[in-house]
Amino acid sequence: MCSCKETFYLCEFSYHLVQDMTDQISFLNDNEISVQYDFVCDVDSQDDGSNNSSMDSNPQNRILRRTRSLNAPSPVQHFGRCGRIMKNPAMVMTIQDPASQRLTWYKPPLSVLVIKKVRDSSVLPPFVELVTWLIEEKRMVVFVEASVLEDPALARDPKFRSVRDRLQTFRDGTDDLQDKIDFIVCLGGDGTLLYASLLFQQSVPPVMAFHLGSLGFLTPFEFDNFQEQVTNVLEGNAALTLRSRLRCVIVRKNEDSQPAEPPTNLLVLNEVVVDRGPSPYLSNIDLFIDGKHVTSVQGDGLIVSTPTGSTAYAVAAGASMIHPSVPAIMITPICPHSLSFRPIVVPAGVELKISVSPDSRNTSWVSFDGRNRQELFHGDSLKVTTSVYPVPSICAADQITDWFDSLAECLHWNVRKRQKHLDELSDLTHSSSNDTLDSFDRDS
């Protein structure tokens, strides 16, 4: 038996080797989608005893084994003798296998944004050490938030004073960083990564997050050997997890007597939450998916989350945990007044619309990754779709290892005292139940 790798065309979908790490999604038609997947198959030809190493031309004599891939195989398009999926070559979407997503720089990164956890003195020494090293050793332009320089503890640090005047500063909501930053380093907990997502409401530079906070589910790197780890990333030796974000647009009811307000348009990394706010009454929220009324939510509210956000507020409300490479949107009710209202997962390509029911006794409130909280009135609506701008999160190992390590270390997933082996149970070795079993074996 011989083994080799070959590209096969199956079911009119092209399975080919990844040529470019920067393949773009091309949308040609708004109605239907034909998906083109990238992965490689291992092919073993059956040995017929003739020691012929050539590929067997008969497909039935070939054994196809998929190599490591995070994309599901494309389904067949023929069903039975007559059925098939109608062809639509008008639109092709190229999807790269998440397992092959690795960081590459088409030019050397020159500027870096360092985000540190606020109001935590334990982060200050690593912060000073990092920015000093980036400036003096890597000769990079370092950006920090202006409020960081106002910290009295940093002002007293002699090592920081030597690089303070060489730092570039910005203020959230005032300065635009979109075309100034090549690379982001976060020092702290998950909140620093959420803040980085908030700062970049379009394309996000690659983010490297060090665990210096409380939970650290999204921060896989340890700070001990940061020089080696950052150098590897700057040289392009790193795997990426593309964490999808949700585009949330609030459309206000247009009163004839008032000018229309510009819609709120935000990208969120974790979730958007609609709740009853300070009202003592149940929320009564209508949920639409692609224009179809699906259900009315009666309870404390509703969580719409990304796969990344499925391990945040959603999992505390009883939702399942979804790997961030899975293209999906999770819908989770908050304390629903129904025994049968379970969390659901819908395809990432749908559009959700959430509005206050006309017969609701109260308004609702909406927040985006825990920020920008505002009221939803009768007639207002919130539209949620998957954004085309993910957060490229750099992996310490790879997409699978990092996620399961976080589940085990941060959430203690499936932690249980091990059941003892029967040989370890001394009270069973001489019990009457063993005698009964022995007699049963003899009788049988």
Residue bearing tokens 């109608």: 86
Q: Is 190 a catalytic residue?
A: yes
Residue bearing tokens 């399975």: 15
Tokens describing residue 338 = 């129904």
Instruction: Please tell me which residue in 30, 38, 97, 190 is annotated as part of the active site.
Output: 190
Max Cα-Cα span within the chain: 93
Contact (CB, 8 A) for 70 and 325: yes
Residue bearing tokens 């190229």: 94
**Among residues 162, 154, 110, 155, which one has the least CA distance to residue 132?**
162
Amino acid making up residue 418: R
Contact (CB, 8 A) for 394 and 104: no
- Using DSSP bridges, classify how beta strands 92-95 and 34-37 pair: parallel, antiparallel or unpaired: parallel
Residues noted as catalytic:
190
